[in-house]
Structure 1
Amino acid sequence: MKTRLLLILLSLLSITANAQELLKIRKISFSGNSAISGSKLKEEINIEASSKFNERFFDKEADLYTLPLYEENLNRIRYAYQKEGFLNISFNDPIVKVTRKNKVKLTFKINEGEPIKVSSILFTIDSVVKTKELLSKKTQRKLKLQSQLKVNKRFRDEWFYEDKNFIGEEFNNMGYAYAQVKHKMAVDTSLNTADINWLIDSGKDCYFGPIMVQGNERVKTKRVMKQVRFKEGDAWSKYEIDETQKQIYNIGMFRVASIKTLISDEKPDTLPTLIVLKEAPRWISRFGVGYGREDKFRVFADIQYLGFPTRTGRSSLYAKHSGLEPYNFQYKFTQPAVILPFNSIIVNPFIMKQHEPSYQIERTGVNLTFLQHFSEQFNTSVNFYIEEVNSDSTVVEPTLTISDYSDGADSYSKSGFALGFIYFNGEPRLDPVTGFSLAFNIKRNGTFVEESIPFYRSLIEYKKYWGIKPGTTLAFKAKLGYARMVYDDGLVPVEERFYAGGSYSVRGWARSQLGPKDDAGVPTGGNSLLEGSIESRHLIAPKLVFAAFVDAGNVWHDSFGYRLDDLHYAAGVSIRFKTPIGPVGIDVAKPIFDEEKKWQLHFNIGNPF
């Protein structure tokens, strides 16, 4: 009663005040909530609090404080908690403060109560409660391990519906195309328990019927059928259909690949399958022009032709010019699904010239790469290469060891292999707010050509993303590099050394300017690299992100020369604009705790990590 009187009084004040003094909601907060964060609760309510920034620049007015608005949002909060399994939620009198400027600060006081826990889960299949007799041990184990709802654990609506879909798909994969999943649930709010009984009508066993393919012109039907994981007469399975669709897309020749099971009202047990395809354009081209602080003016062209030289192969020609690469010409032939459905072979001859702060070289060679796609998150590669390197007024002279393997002081050969993998589960992929990435690569040079320089090089990089609250992400990166010559302690070739500083490194330094230098102040690079960054990203307006960051790192001459007391640090801020291809923005950074005090400005496409 006290609460209603207070709210009615405040509502009357907001009605009787003149237009300049209406009670606008200044701030919303919550107390007593532990199961659901305040930021999540703000997503559930429909109150717009005042903000000078939003009012001035985005014309967003704050809501007026009224009793109906308050009660409506109590129901929204109650519903949010009920979805999380809290059926006994209650509310104490809110804390309502009115500022001198007639702005309301409102605090919802929440008593969450005890959540509903699952006390039992049963499966009634075709009206019979005999799970062990009707389901294999493998299926029973899968249902137990992969179901979200667990006995003695909290009940959540989201997990309930996920489990319902999961159970239905499992029966589909067992050949029951007409399976239906319903449920009975007994909830005891005094004991805070829920008993769940899944009622499954499996229907009849179903099998794949005739398989038809239409829409393909350049790619023969025989080639498409090689990607189909089932054949006529096999037990019908939604999983096999989904995997077949992925394998057809992996060929890279189709813009659309739709697989339909043809089901009629008679519900037959033999189900025809129709694969409908739409081929991608045979010619695909990309062109771009831009300017960057490091690579200056840049222009590139990438032209791809599908179905050459093999019917499912892809050929592409790539050309680029920039300050860092005066010329870069590459031909790439990609053949998908060579041995396994999700692998590819790439042949890549190239010729390029590189102008880095530490060196200027010309590289000519060829790569042979085997790619294996294990899942949406995990990929591996094996690369074999042969390369000839010619210096052109090389700033950093090759070491004596390298000159032992060259025809002269200005050329040498490289050959070997590299192994790599990357695991990335960040979402969304172009601008992740959750998940992590782990990438590793190791190279062994001096394998195929006797004159090539023998050395090892490896690099490992870890990235982690935390969504603190809507619009706020904390990102972390750590990178460790190691290289060494096989027979002595000399430096590896200049283009294989590690360098630090730049827009994707320690941003308080210009490109390659952090680390060892010669007497003339030219970066020499090194055999050891250690870097780390932490960045807080905040969405301050639609599509506009402000970030603050701290970077640390250094390069050392010797292999395993890491020294934590010799790290250099930089701090800065960034403004980025979100686009369909990822963020575009400007980073400004300055060294801290360092003799170097110069500010650095970087233009970035995409997040630095």
Structure 2
Amino acid sequence: MGVLGRKIAFVSLFILFLTAHSQQRIAKIEFDGNEHVSSWRLRKVLVTPVPTWTMRLFKRLPVADPKSIKKDLENITAVYLDKGYLDVLVKAKPIKYKGKEDIVTLVYRVDEGKKYFVERIDWSCADSIDTVKLAKLIGLSPGDVFSPFKLESGRLNVYRYLADLGYLYAEVEAGYRKVDSLVRIVFSVKPGKVVYFGKITYKGLINTKKFLLKRELSIKSGKKYSYSAIQKSRQELFRTGLFKVISIELSDTLSHPDTVDVVIRVIERKRGFYGASIDFGGNKNYDFTMQISANWGHRNVFGNGQSIMMKGLLQAEVITNWQFISNRYEASIYEPWTLGRKIPTNLVLYFEPGLKTQNFPWRVQRFGAELSAIIHDEPRTHKIGATYERVDIYGVPEDIAMEIKMQQGIYITRKITYTIQADVRDNPLNPSEGSFARVSTELVGGLLGGDEHFAKIDATFARYIRLYHDFILASRIRTGVIGRTLPAAEIAPTNKFAAGGANTIRGFKELSVGPKAADGTMLGGNVIFLLSSEIRFPLIWKFYGTVFLDMGQVWDEWKDINPNDIRVSSGFGVAFMTPFGPIRLERGFILTKLDPDQKGRWHIALLYPY
């Protein structure tokens, strides 16, 4: 019987008691004797629902379920064991609630015992084994609080390290002995013999060629066995998007052969896909619009991993007036390996023939291409892209066409982009540790031609620190600058910087911070600075709270930078966690007195701002 099992063996009598009184309900849950672990922390690991005032009001109190309470005892014991209290004893006792037979207060009584620390770590292994390296893998050092869970995790880390060196049959045992309030740890390591990968067999392939799997694998026949190579191979095969199920198994390991054969089984996804959607909305030119889109694609053309997709969009004005106003056709080709290297490349071609409408009795035709390539160099990702566009206006003289371009802000954009980012967050949707950095650059126009000529750089860095329990400090700094490559070149407002809103400076209207025209129209600026910090913490169930401080500004040019122009806001919010990320409701208060027309506001947004 393990440590955890011995700590809860006594609960059988309590389980029998509750079984005989299975209709008892719990009005309150209390903890007694927990001097070194807060009730809040213990309450988080309970399986039994914690009664709330609403449950009591509507008489929906949770049932005293024996299985749930047994699991509670296991979880509470595990919390203490992880904190070094190896002698902990936990009992559960029901007490009649206000004299009622069928309602109880459930009290978890804790006898914490002594707290144990690591005295030393001894190794029993061959001289060829680098114990200094192994000691760094176990996560425990002399003087640390002892945790049997960390010890087991360390044992697995040692095995995986040896397995990556080819020692598939390594035997790693970890034990400990208590001496007063100290623990002496002993590791016994028997590496065994070096093992090599043998024959690799593929099963389940129907439409996919074998070489496609081979090029994704980190395991090769004749190479040393590696646990990490198997895990990486599985991840890379899933990344192709071609398979629903992937298993990588070793055959005949019981006899401990020098070479192990590998069997890779897959279940392929359907190659073809299609879809359609209808969206309703509006814009500054039309009150009510409807957009119909349809797409068709193939994710494994000729069995080589390339994919293609065709897409068509049609937009119409509806209700107040009925007419077609725009259409667009797209074709994209995706190549996962380029020039024999794993560099995913995507080419998108689009064509907008344009339509004459009652508002605009001319036709604006667009043709363009977008090429992008991604290079993964964990934890860094590089993305290189190029965009080419041509715009022609038909139905009016050439001089009128130029005037229409100016009035409607039609800019022909041709550019080259490069982005590098490093993401070491533990969870991209709800990070609690790690950091995220990204630098993106654009070179627009120049030798490429087009109407705009500028260079742009935008840099962001975010850091996440666990302050206390699940209280997370998240901070972000962002800076960016745009410079013209031709002195008289115009830059479209959509390519300039603007701030304000749920993801930049909360409390301000969306994209309301920055240079404006006399009528209040946002022109955008060429320099941006943002600095934000917030504390995120759990509230109840899937709800999290947030308190934040945002500051920043957008200036027209570098010479216009003035710290006194910086806008500052603060506020609070609530986030509800979903499988797609948090949905935020936040209230921002403007602290600076530079914008008398803005009084702060509420924001609703999906995902954290950083």
TM-score, normalised to structure 2, is: 0.73
Query: Which one of 195, 204, 226 corresponds to residue 206 of structure 1?
Result: 195
Matches within 5 A, 1:250-265: 250-263=239-252, 265=254
> How much does 1:570 deviate?
4.0
Partner of 2:434: 435
In the alignment, what sits opposite 2:374?
A: 371
**Aligned-residue RMSD, C-alpha:** 4.7
8 A contact 1:51–1:62 mirrored in 2: no
Structure 2 SS opposite 1:217? coil
**AA matched with 2:376:** H
Structure 2 counterpart SS, 1:172:
helix
Amino acid at match of 1:449: L
Evaluate the alpha carbon distance shift between residue 104 and residue 259 of structure 1 in structure 2; reply closer, same or farther with a 3 A threshold: closer
Change (3 A) 1:468 1:329: farther
1:382 is matched with 384
Cα distance in 2, alignment partners of residues 23 and 309 from structure 1: 63
Closer, same or farther: CA 150–492 of 1 in aligned 2, 3 Å: farther
SS of 1:161's equivalent in the other structure is: helix
> Hey, what's the Cα distance between the residues in 1 that align with 2:315 and 2:270?
29
| Distance in 1 between residues matched to 2:270 and 2:602, nearest whole Å | 41
Matches within 5 A, 1:186-201: 186-190=177-181, 192-194=182-184, 196-201=185-190
CA distance in structure 2 between the partners assigned to 1:299 and 1:510 by the alignment: 30
* Structure 2 CA distance for partners of 1:55 and 1:604, relative to 1, 3 Å: farther
Deviations 1:526-580 (A, max 9, x none): 0011224444555545344555544433211113744332122345555554333
Partner of 1:415: 414
SS at match of 2:212: helix
- How far does residue 589 in structure 1 lie from its aligned partner after superposition? 4.4
Deviation at 1:72, TM superposition (A): 12
Whole-Å separation in 1 of the counterparts to 2:469 and 2:298? 42
Higher relative contact order (CA 8 A, sep 6+): 1
2:409–2:492 CA contact under 8 A, matched in 1? no
2:120 counterpart residue number: 119
1:161 Cα deviation (Å)?
Answer: 1.4
* Contact 1:484 1:559 (C-alpha < 8 Å) held by counterparts: no
1:312 correspondence with 2:311: no
Quick one: which amino acid aligns to residue 347 of structure 2?
V
Residue 238 of structure 2 is matched in structure 1 by 249
- Aligned AA for 1:220? K
Distance in 2, matches of 1:571 and 1:352, equals 44
**How much has 1:85 moved relative to structure 2?**
2.8
Deviates more, 1:312-321 or 1:48-57: 48-57
Distance across 2 between alignment mates of 1:414 and 1:265? 64
**Number of the residue aligned with 2:223:** 234
Q: Against the structure 1 CA distance between its residues 563 and 332, is the aligned structure 2 distance closer, same or farther, given a 3 Å change threshold?
A: farther
Q: Which amino acid aligns with 1:520?
A: D
Counterpart in 2 of 1:52?
53
State the shift of 1:89 in Å.
Answer: 7.8
Q: One-letter code of the match for 1:119?
A: R
Cα distance in 2, alignment partners of residues 76 and 282 from structure 1: 46
> What's 1:336 paired with?
336
Consecutive unaligned residues of structure 2, counting only runs of 5 or more, are 1-24, 91-96, 99-103, 317-324, 354-363, 395-401
1:26-425 equivalent positions in 2, closer than 5 A: 33=36, 39-44=40-45, 51-53=52-54, 55-56=56-57, 59-60=60-61, 80-87=79-86, 115-124=116-125, 130-131=126-127, 134-135=128-129, 142-190=133-181, 192-194=182-184, 196-263=185-252, 265-285=254-274, 303-308=296-301, 311-318=304-311, 330-338=330-338, 342-350=342-350, 364-375=367-378, 377-388=379-390, 413-425=412-424
In structure 2, C-alpha distance between the alignment counterparts of 1:597 and 1:76, rounded to whole Å: 50
Provide closer, same or farther for how the CA distance between residues 39 and 318 of structure 1 changes in structure 2, counting only shifts above 3 A.
farther
Indicate conservation of the 8 Å contact 2:432/2:472, yes or no.
yes
**Distance in 1 of aligned mates of 2:410 and 2:567:** 34
Q: Secondary structure at the match of 1:418?
A: strand
Write the distance in 2 (CA, Å) between the matches of 1:305 and 1:57. 54
Counterpart residue number, 1:486 = 485
Cα deviation for residue 281 of structure 1 reads 1.4
CA contact (8 A) 1:414 1:452 kept: yes
Distance (Å, rounded) in 2 between the aligned partners of 1:174 and 1:543 = 42
Amino acid at match of 1:314: S
Answer with 37-46 or 258-267: which moved more. Answer: 37-46
Q: What's the % identity of the aligned pairs? A: 17
Matching residue's letter, 1:222 = F
**1:331 partner letter:** A
Q: Which amino acid aligns with 1:200?
A: V
Contact 1:463 1:475 in 2 (8 A): yes
Post-superposition shift, 1:491?
Answer: 6.3
Decide which moves more: 592-601 or 329-338. 592-601
